[in-house]
Amino acid sequence: MNKKNSQPLSLRVPEPSGRPGDTPDFSHLQMDPAGVVERPEVGSTPYQMRDLAFRLIRVLDDEGAAVGPWNPRLDPETMRRGLKAMILTRAFDDRMHRAHRQGKTSFYMKCTGEEAIAVAQGMILSREDMGFPTYRQQGLLIARGYPLVAMMNQIYSNAEDPIKGRQLPIMYSAKDYGFFTISGNLGTQVPQAVGWAMASAYKGDDKIAISWIGDGATAEGDFHNALTFASVYRAPVILNVVNNQWAISSFQGIAGGLETTFASKAIGYGLPALRVDGNDFLAVWAATQWAEERARSNQGATVIELFTYRGAPHSTSDDPSRYRPGDEHEKWPLGDPIERLRQHLTVIGEWDDERHAAALKDAVEQVRAAGKESEAIGTLGQSRPSVKTMFEEVYATEDWRLIEQRREVGV
Amino acid sequence: MVDQNAAPASQATGAGVVPMNMIQALNSAIDVKMAEDANVLSFGEDAGYFGGVFRVTDKLQQKHGLTRSFDAPISECGIVAAAIGMGAYGLRPVVEIQFADYIYPAYDQIVSEAAKMRYRSGGQFTSPITVRSPYGGGIFGGQTHSQSPESLFTHIAGLKVVIPSNPYDAKGLLTAAIEDDDPVVFFEPKRLYNGPFDGWHEKPVSPWKAQDLAQVPTGKYVEPIGKARVMREGNDVTILAYGTMVWVALAGSEHAGVDAEVIDLRSLVPLDIEAIEASVNKTGRCVIVHEAPKTSGFGGELSALVQERCFYSLEAPIARVTGWDTPYPHAFEWEYFPGPQRVADALKSVMTGGR
Ligand SMILES: Cc1ncc(C[n+]2csc(CCOP(=O)(O)OP(=O)(O)O)c2C)c(N)n1
C-alpha cells in the first residue's frame, strides 16, 4: 500500500534510433536543403546568428549543383585537388586497415566518410597555423603532401618512425605541417589550441589555431574549459566538433546530442556557432573560411559542428555491427563526401568517370609505392628505432636516473 | 647556525641586495624575467589585477601590462592547458594554481600532456611551462588549503619538481624554472612566505630579514635545479628535508642536541643524489622529514635510494618523520604538522638504535 502522494520518478537513458537488425531511421534529423541557410556577415554578433547553431549549412544539392549564399565559388583546380586528396586518404586508410589485418601493425583508425573535413580545412589554413587534431584528421597531412612513407613508418614504429616508436600508430606529430602531436587522452588538445592561439595574439603575430574534437568527447571538461578561454580572451581559433554520430558504441545522444545540437554549446559561451554538412566539401570549405576570416580579423573564435557519419569501425578493435544497424552508413542521408564532390565536378564539366578511375588508380599506386618503401624498412616488430631512444627526450637533458637505467638496459 | 652557502651578491647581475621575504623574492624572479624576456607571461586565478591571493604576482600587471599578467577563469585545467599551448608556440608562461590542493583538476594536463610533450612528439614540441603553487600546511587552511601533493608529480617522467625553502633559493630556482625547457612544477611552502617557520608554533618566529638567505639580489641570478643545499654541516646523522621542513629539521636537531647535517633537497626531480650519498656515507645515519602523508610519500623513495646506495655505511635504520595518512585535519593541525619534537625523537632513536 503506497501511502505517499508523490509520483515515482523514472530514469531516462537515451537510445539511438536503431540497433542491429533494425532498419536505419533518420527521420528525426532535421536537415535544411542546400542553399537555404543565410550567410551572416563575418562580424555578426553571436546573438544575431544564433539560429545557425540549429540549422545545417549545405552548398551541394542532390543534383550536384553548388547553390546558395555559402557557395565558396572555388575554382575547379582547387576542387580537383581536394577530391584527389580525399581519394588518397581513403586509399591510405584501406591499405593500413588491411595492414593491421595482416598483422603488420597493432592498431589503425579510419576516417571513412569524414574525409572532406580534414582535407578542406587542411587546404584552407596555412602550415604556419597550427592544427590540434584528433586521430581522425589524417586527411590534413595527406592534403598537405606530408610523405605517406613517414605516416606508415609511424604506424609501423619502424626504424624510420619520425617519433621514434613512442606512440600508438596514427598518433602523428608533424610540426612543419601545422599538425600538433596527438594525445590519446580525448579532448586535451582543444584548450591547448586556445592557448596556442592566445600566444599568437599575444605576440601580435597573424597565425591562428584550429582544433577538432569528437561529439562524444565534448562531454569532457577540457572542451568546456576551452570554450571559456576562447571566449574570454577572444582567441583566434577555430573549434570544430566532428559529430560523426558515434563514440565507439555510444550514439551522440549520450553526449547530449538529443537535447540540442553540438554547435549550440557555443551559445552559452557567447561564441558564434555554425552547423555544417560535413560531407559537403564546399560547405565545410565555406564555413571554415568564414571562421578563418573572423579569427584573422581579430574577432575571435568560432565553433563549427561538422555533421557527418563514421562509416568505418571506430578502430581496428571495434565491431560496429554489434551496436548499430549494419547498413546505417549506406543509408546516411548526407551521402559520401567523395561521391558528392565528384558529382559536382562532373556536372560542371570538370571531371568524368575516366578521370575518376585514373585518380583512384593513381591513389592506390601512390599508397602501394609508399607501402613498399615503408615495409622495406620494416613493419611492427621487424625493425624499430634504437632502444637508446627510449631514454631520450624525457627531459631536455638526461638526468642520472635515466643514464643509470639506460646502462642497465645496456644501451 | 645556518651554513652560509648563499652565493655572494657579486654573482648577481643586478645592482643591489636587499632583504626580501619569499613572496617578494618570487615576485622579483618573475618581474626580472618578464622585463628581460617578452615571451614570459604570468596568469592564474586572481593573479592579474590583484596580484594573487598571496601577492606573489603583485604589480606585475601594472608594470608589464594587461596581456602579460592577467586573471584567468577558475579553471585549473584550462589554465595549464592554455599554458601548454602557449609553450608550444614559444612562450614561457608561468601560471599560478592558487593552492596546490586545486592542482588536481589540472592533473591530466600536467601529467598526460605537459610531461609527455617532448617525448611523444619526438622532440618536435616542448612544454617549457612553470606551474607555481603554494602548498603545505601550518596556516590553519583545513584539508583543502594544506596539502603536499609533490610525490604525485615526482612519479611522472618528464616533470621537474622544485621546492625552495628560503627567499634566496626561491628567486634563483624560480628563475631557473622559467628558463627551463621542461615543464616544472614549482611548489611554494606558503608557511614560509612571511618568515622561516621552525615548527615551534607557540614560540615567536624571527622575521626573514634577520636571515642570511633573505638577502636577495634585486637583479637576475639563477640557482641551478638539481643541486641540494647543505643548510647545516654535521657529523652524526643526515636529515633530508625540503620546504618548511628544512626549518623544522634545523630546530629539531638543535632541540635534540644532535650534530645533524641538514640537507635541503631544493629539487626532488632532478634529485641531487651525490649530495645525499656523500652525506649519509659520512654520517652513517639518515632521517627524512616531509609534511606529506607517509604512505607513498617522497620519503619512501628517498629511503629506498639511501638503502640501495649507502647500505654498508648505515649504522641504524632510516627513519621517516612525516604527516599522517589522514586527510589534513583542521583542529589537529599541530598534531599533524611534523614539528621539531618529532624530529628530535626520531634523531634520538636513530642515534641510540644503531648496531
Ligand atoms: C579521456 C579519455 N577517455 C576515454 C578514452 C577512450 N576512447 C577513445 S576514442 C573514444 C570515443 C570517442 O568518440 P568521439 O569523441 O565521438 O570521437 P570519434 O571516435 O567518434 O571520432 C573513447 C571513449 C580516451 N581515449 N580518452
Cβ–Cβ gap A394/B119 under 8 Å: yes
| Across A221-226, average pLDDT | 98
Pocket of ligand 1 (CB under 6 A): A 136, 184-186, 214-217, 242, 244, 246-248, 310, 314
Question: Residue B355 pLDDT more than 90?
Answer: no
Question: Residue B57 pLDDT more than 50?
Answer: yes
CA-closest residue to ligand 1 atom 19: A247
Q: Tell me, what's the pLDDT at A2?
A: 60
Give yes or no: B64 in active site. no
Residues of B in contact with A180 (CB under 8 A): 88, 125
**Would you tell me how many other CB atoms lie within 10 Å of the CB of residue B304?**
11
**Average pLDDT of the residues of chain B:** 94
The answer to whether A164 contacts chain B (CB < 8 Å) is yes
The answer to whether B308 contacts chain A (CB < 8 Å) is no
Minimum Cα–Cα distance from A202: chain B residue: B67
Choose between B7 and A331: higher pLDDT: A331
ipTM confidence = 0.87
Q: Tell me, what's the pLDDT at B296?
A: 97
| Across B201-228, average pLDDT | 95
Question: Residue A214 pLDDT more than 90?
Answer: yes
How many CB pairs lie under 8 A apart between chains A and B? Answer: 140
Name which of A239-248, B134-143, B301-310 the model is least confident about.
Answer: B134-143
CA distance B198 to chain A (A): 32
Question: Residue B12 pLDDT more than 60?
Answer: no
Quick: pLDDT tens for B151-172: 999 999 999 999 999 999 999 9
C-alpha cell at B218: 634585486
ω into residue B270 within 30 of 0, thus cis? Answer: yes
Minimum Cα–Cα distance from A235: chain B residue: B82
Q: Tell me, what's the pLDDT at A30?
A: 83
CA A95 to chain centre: 19
Place of cell 579553471: B75
Question: Residue A274 pLDDT more than 90?
Answer: yes
The answer to whether B90 contacts chain A (CB < 8 Å) is yes
Quick: pLDDT tens for B324-335: 999 999 889 999
CA distance B58 to chain A (A): 21
Confidence tier at B206 by pLDDT (50, 70, 90): confident
Rounded percentage of chain A residues whose pLDDT exceeds 70: 100
In the Cβ-directed half-sphere of B149, how many Cα atoms lie within 13 Å?
A: 23
Pocket test for ligand 1, best of A93, A109, A167, A186 (most atoms within 8 A of CB): A186
Supply angle C-alpha A84, A85, A86, rounded to 5. 90
Quick: pLDDT tens for A244-269: 999 999 999 999 999 999 999 999 99
Q: Tell me, what's the pLDDT at B354?
A: 62
Question: Residue B8 pLDDT more than 50?
Answer: no
Cβ–Cβ gap A162/B180 under 8 Å: no
Cβ–Cβ gap B126/A173 under 8 Å: no
Minimum Cα–Cα distance from B87: chain A residue: A196
| Across B232-242, average pLDDT | 98
Confidence tier at A4 by pLDDT (50, 70, 90): confident
Q: Tell me, what's the pLDDT at B9?
A: 40
Quick: pLDDT tens for A401-411: 999 999 988 99
Residues of B in contact with A194 (CB under 8 A): 78, 81-82, 85
Minimum Cα–Cα distance from A227: chain B residue: B78
Burial profile A214-228: b = 16 or more Cβ within 10 angstroms, e = fewer: bbbbbbbebbbbbbb
**Cβ–Cβ under 8 Å, residues A237 and A301:** yes
How many whole angstroms from A175 Cα to the centroid of ligand 1?
24
Quick: pLDDT tens for A20-63: 999 999 999 989 999 999 999 999 999 999 999 999 999 999 99
**Average pLDDT of the residues of chain A:** 96
- Alpha carbon of B322 to those of A330, B146, B155: distances in Å? 64, 14, 18
Question: Residue B11 pLDDT more than 90?
Answer: no
Nearest ligand 1 atom, CA A218: 15
Question: Chain B interface, mutation test: which of A151, A160, A181, most B Cβ atoms within 10 Å?
Answer: A181
Q: Which of A180, A194, A229 sits opposite B125 (nearest CB)?
A: A180
Helices A115-124 and A337-347 pack at an angle, to 10 degrees, of 60
Confidence tier at B6 by pLDDT (50, 70, 90): very low
CA–CA dist A190, A222 (Å, integer)? 7
Cα–Cα nearest to B263, from B306, B304, B292: B306
Helices B245-256 and B340-352 pack at an angle, to 10 degrees, of 60
Nearest ligand 1 atom, CA A255: 16
Quick: pLDDT tens for B281-315: 999 999 999 999 999 999 999 999 999 999 999 99
Q: Among residues 180-209 of chain A, which lie with CB inside 8 Å of chain B?
A: 180-181, 183, 185, 188, 190-200, 202-203, 209
Name which of A172-181, A342-351, B3-12, B105-114 the model is least confident about.
Answer: B3-12
CA–CA dist B22, B28 (Å, integer)? 10
Q: Tell me, what's the pLDDT at B331?
A: 87
| Across A350-365, average pLDDT | 98
The answer to whether A399 contacts chain B (CB < 8 Å) is yes
Residues of B in contact with A196 (CB under 8 A): 85-86, 88-89
Q: Among residues 43-102 of chain A, which lie with CB inside 8 Å of chain B?
A: none
**Cβ–Cβ under 8 Å, residues A237 and A276:** no
Q: Tell me, what's the pLDDT at B5?
A: 43
Backbone angles phi, psi at B323, to 5 degrees: -65, 165
Cβ–Cβ gap B121/A181 under 8 Å: yes
pTM for this model (two decimals):
0.93
Nearest ligand 1 atom, CA A214: 15
Confidence tier at B2 by pLDDT (50, 70, 90): very low
How many whole angstroms from A84 Cα to the centroid of ligand 1?
29
CA distance A343 to chain B (A): 39
Which residues, 6+ apart, have CB-to-CB distance to B129 below 8 Å? B80, B83, B84, B86, B87, B92, B93, B94, B95, B114, B183, B184
Quick: pLDDT tens for B74-113: 999 999 999 999 999 999 999 999 999 999 999 999 999 9
How many whole angstroms from A318 Cα to the centroid of ligand 1?
12
Q: Tell me, what's the pLDDT at B1?
A: 35
Quick: pLDDT tens for A125-135: 999 999 999 99
Residues of A in contact with B112 (CB under 8 A): 183, 185, 188
Which residues, 6+ apart, have CB-to-CB distance to B66 below 8 Å? B48
The answer to whether B239 contacts chain A (CB < 8 Å) is no
| Across B9-13, average pLDDT | 44
How many whole angstroms from A223 Cα to the centroid of ligand 1?
13
C-alpha cell at B347: 634523531
How many whole angstroms from B204 Cα to the centroid of ligand 1?
56
Name which of A140-154, B144-158, B202-216, B240-254 the model is least confident about.
Answer: B202-216
Q: Tell me, what's the pLDDT at B4?
A: 40
Q: Tell me, what's the pLDDT at A1?
A: 55
